[in-house]
Chains A and B, each alone.
Chain A
Amino acid sequence: MSSLDSITPAEPARQDQAIAVRREADSTSLATNVSFRRARAGARRETVRDVALRVASVIALVSIWWLLSLFFPPSLVPKPWDTFAEVGVIVTSGNFFTEMGATLRRVLVGFGLAMIVSIPLGIFMGTLRSLESFFEPPVILGLTVPGLIWAVLAIMFFGLTETSAYAAIAVTIAPMLAISIWQGTKSIDKDLIDMSKVFHASAWSKVVDVILPQLVSHILAAIRYGLGLAWKVVVVVEMFGFSNGVGYQVVRGFNVFSMKAVLAWTITFLVVMIVIEFGLIGWLERSVTRWRPRVEAWRR
């Protein structure tokens, strides 16, 4: 059927043409090969440059801090290295692990509870009209209530227990997660749902194979926002009178007016968050979006 096969030696002119065509085909395939390799090498260079840019950004921030410390007394702006030394003390004394462990546990439990509730809620709201109408007001209301108020309410209700920390975090971030997933569900591809109907996919398979993968970007964004909010709420809850956690340590630093301690705890907190953000979530994102070629809209 292919035009190349149908050529007979009785047509010398066309055969020449065919050879020319064939040669052209070979050279284009070679070209794509080369550009493919170049693209891969480019991707590697890109990551090296990305890391360099991130390091430069951190160095710039520390430099600004150092410049500020030249103009203010150490009680207000301590020197960066003094603060880093304090961080070292916190870590080597073992305080870091118990305090950070307590805070992390609260964040993860609260966050997990919020995810368990809001992913199904968001999907149902995006797919069922009646549930959308019913749940829209509470979700929007929930979004507007400040985390601080949830923290107060939770502590008044549950007392100074772990439960109140979990509840405050979960209730604060659940509406935001639900909205993100709800809106994402509304934008899923109807054609793929039709396809799954034609092949009689089960309800479970529709959710797991067709709907959830289309929500990955929304869920990842929701995780990032949600974690950001959760860190803020957990510190507030801990400041209210918990006897451990990073928030408690920051309040202790505040009570003795030690800017160094407050900053040192803040830095350890930031480092842990960065590890989670770039390490854990970055890894999660890469592994669940491997199927998707990277969008390089501005690179030629």
Chain B
Amino acid sequence: MLAQVLVSSITAGAVYALIALGFVLIHKGTGVVHFGYGDQVTFGAYLVLIGQAFIGLRFDVAVAGALVASVLLGAIIYLAFMWPLRNASLLARIIASLALGTVLREFLRSYMGPNAWPFPFLLSSTSVPVGGVLIVPANLAIVGVAIAVLVALYLIFDRTIYGKAILAACENSTGASLVGVHVSTVFLLIWILASVLATVAGILVAPLLTLSPDMGLIGIKGFTAAVLGGFNSLPGAVAGGIALGILEALAGTYVSSALKDMISYAILIAVILVRPQGLFGELTLKKV
């Protein structure tokens, strides 16, 4: 029983981890906390759906098309909104990212209707018994992709000169331009990468959850995972996602499934209060 709960919870955890990776990528890379990211995940899944159901593309072609479209979306978000707001107050940037998410969600509600759509699995969704525990290949794929994305991002940020330059660009833009890194190009690339990542997450997650305009509320779970992981650490985001998945599953099994979400939000508030630097992060000091 407990083993099954844990195995299933790891899928949910990987979903949260994927979304958390997007949050951390954007925050680490551009200094923005993107409150509309959950809706971008939903939008990515809808892009596939639109290609498949409305244009009549084959599923794999639709997926490819959605990835290309999300490159464009990422570029538009940066060039049309985040770049003009680069010197705006934190408050304005938070509200703008909330607004971006709301626009995407309401666009879907207006043109695709408020109801749920069926969405195909990438892999088989029939469960296979492995050592007394049921495992679903489609779910395994989510875990695999989350780990692959983590490894890829980790290699980029921590092992390449360019990745380190990106971090430098975020910390200190004059310093970065001194060593020849064009900050706005870097930021553009980050937003595009995050947008593609959102679509990947959306495609993996949509069959598990119900694909409706409100699926983006999953973003708050990804956010919680990112907070647990300290918001600046890529491995932290994945660890935070898995931890949240397990906590939720335990709460759902042993306390009450109705209270499951409430418990995870309460955890969020508690962590923010008690350890704002996350479970793995370090505290920084404001300089006067």
Answer yes or no: are A and B bound together in one complex. no
